[in-house]
Structure 1
């Protein structure tokens, strides 16, 4: 059994997975943009009732908090000018971004189902990167960016804003090494423009898991699993699907504030059992479970964990609720 037991949230149906993942994403968004004390409409327990409970600071909406922090009001009712320190703090808060890394596959459908109906997604504050990408044209059904764009981002209502999205350079599809190097430069610009950092720190990375155990484009027994320095690595011999790809490396994924897997279907049950119960097999997801211990969560349907007997499934506690 894995020595670093992750949180495993299991649901009987796809809709339950999608709803919980959406809540998880919005909670990570709110933490990144507003801090831990400004969660919106805390909910104490998951379940059909989903009873609302005030948070420890008295349940104010995030927008009200932001408005009150913009200016202080004196007893006469006149606005008191904020100090330069307060103005700098306000500007810093306004410039905060939610930086998320996405993989592809069925994850895109889960996010579409869970996020598009919500009104509390601050789309215009999102910076979207890709945990991996197949080196195919964007209009190919194999393109993670193309799939996410058509199924999620192009479906966002126009009045909800639009994220900043960072795809690969489509002109470099024939050169995996150059494409990986260029995407690493994109990451450096986004995460280390003014500072020198060893690794980028995402607020959240969302991953799937294939029946062979590969995660992003990190394949079992592949040399990319041993990459310790590069942020982004080329893959030229993927054993399934398009052979040429790029992928975030294990250190980058494991440095994220949160790493969450979204897996569904009975076809995944054997590999999930191996990941959880036989970490010695060294599957990519097992490696990430160990290296990012304490920051890992799995969102699965019951079919995907039907073969897992030694890991306790938990009840998901909803943290936020859409307006």
Structure 2
């Protein structure tokens, strides 16, 4: 069977059905992955829609059918604040899902926090080393099984923003940001090559304010202008969207099934 890495757009009637659908597909796919290999590696990010998906996974009756002890979690980006701070993506992910499942603490790979390292560059270096330690072959990072990404109204993913040099930086797996357009200004983020070293990238978009960026990305805009346009999973890249976010998607790009 030939595996393609084409992009697909799956449209849902509203935000709630979007979250439930992604959660159901996520659980099914993780079970499939764990039947084929000893572990699964997942990347999660922040944002309201990502939170919606993690909470929906936690609420699913099928949640405990996953052997979470064989699943590792990584982060696409993180805010450079103290551990436990409400702004941290790992804090919210804990509330939404990770605190409720039997995941091994050693398999939860958090970015460093203020007070744990001398500065953000030291935290970035430590995360690069951790990624390298779990990489396959000559890769600099793991081949993540599923990466879940939210997308901002400006088309940013993780903490890779339009017209910022980090979106073009392929020199490292982990980059630092000191002037994020969204507070807090200092952040850590996976680079685009590290994100694209994922077997499957699932991007979740809800709301009319996301329609323009999605339309531009699918129309061939460059990653400098619309960072989400640069995302391409090794096997599959899927946009899970609600009807409002799909307003500018050409009909021929909308898939009827996964």
Query: Shorter-chain TM-score: which interval?
Result: 0.7 to 0.9
The 8 Å contact of residues 10 and 302 in structure 1, kept in 2 or not, is answered as yes
**Residue aligning to 2:110:** 167
Return 5+ residue gaps in structure 1 as ranges.
Answer: 36-92, 318-323
Shift of 1:224: 1.1
Q: Deviations over 1:20-55 (max 9, x none)?
A: 2123322331233112xxxxxxxxxxxxxxxxxxxx
Q: CA deviation at 1:228?
A: 1.6
Matched residue count: 247
TM-score normalised over the length of structure 2 = 0.87
Secondary structure in structure 2 of the residue aligned to 1:300: strand
Task: Please list every run of at least 4 consecutive aligned residues from structure 1 whose deviation after the TM superposition is greater than 4 angstroms.
Answer: none
Question: Any conservation in 1 of the 2:112–2:123 contact (CA below 8 Å)?
Answer: yes
* Pairwise CA RMSD: 2.2
Residues 108-119 of structure 1: matches in 2 within 5 Å? 108-117=51-60, 118=62, 119=64
- In structure 2, relative to structure 1, the CA distance for the partners of 1:222 and 1:245 (3 Å cut) is same
Residue 223 of structure 1 aligns with which residue?
A: 165
* Distance change in 2, residues 1:311/1:277 (3 Å): farther
Secondary structure of 1:279's counterpart equals: coil
Q: CA deviation at 1:147?
A: 0.4
Structure with bigger gyration radius: 1
1:309 corresponds to which of 230, 241, 250: 250
Question: What's the offset of the Cα at 1:239?
Answer: 1.4
1:150 positional shift: 1.5
Out of 186, 203, 206, which is 1:264 matched to?
Answer: 206
User: Residue deviations 1:260-298, cap 9 Å, x none?
Assistant: 101111221222222222414641111114xx4751001
SS at match of 1:142: coil
2:88 is matched with which residue? 143
Return the offset for 1:310: 5.1
Residue 283 (structure 1) aligned to one of 201, 204, 226: 226
TM-score of the aligned structures, taking structure 1 as reference length: 0.70
More contact order relative to length (CA 8 Å, sep ≥ 6): 1
Whole-Å separation in 2 of the counterparts to 1:121 and 1:300: 25
Matched, 1:16 2:5: no
Does residue 126 in structure 1 map to residue 71 in structure 2? Answer: yes
- CA–CA distance in 2 between the matches of 1:278 and 1:197? 28
